[in-house]
Amino acid sequence: MTTIIQTIDTADGPFTILADDRQRVLSSGWTDDQAAIVGRLAAATRSATVREGETDAAAATLAYYAGDLTAIDAVAVKQTGTALQLAGWAALRQIEPGAPLTYTGFAARLGNPQAVRAAASICARNAPALFVPCHRVLRTDGTLGGFAWGLDVKESLLAREAAAA
């Protein structure tokens, strides 16, 4: 399998997208370091061939930044993980822009409000950032918590979504 990688400019800095040959996003984030994006994938799932090219997800990203917050919803992603991780990543895609959840609320959506650490782990292991919006999950006290791409990016995304909601 060959993968395609593309970096575009956004209001939050360079954004790099790694997609498979079927245009499903495998990994993405706010960096121009392509190795960092590929490195978000488990070694067993990485493609031997990565080439620069155009991804369908780039247009959705630019539309999101232009104000169409739902543009990212239609982007196909491909993730590999446990049943709980896959369920968690699917649940993240159901969180509405402008209506973030706490880790406790997210754990409750997964059927176990006590599983806060598992919920946080699901967010931390989410490779296709933005398209699987883990940035929409906050600490129980409402503070930002962690984000692989920096709290400034997370804060910017949440502010953009709150303003449009």
CB 73 within 8 A of CB 93: yes
Q: Please say whether the dihedral angle defined by the alpha carbons of residues 151, 19, 55 and 24, taken in this order, is positive or negative.
A: negative
DSSP 14: E
Distances (CA, A) of 54 to 28, 69, 71, 131, 156: 14, 21, 17, 17, 26
Which residues belong to the active site? 134
Task: Give the H/E segment covering residue 51.
Answer: strand 49-52
Tally of CA atoms within 13 A in the half-sphere of 70 that contains its CB:
2
Q: Which residues sit opposite 28 in a β-bridge? A: 17, 128
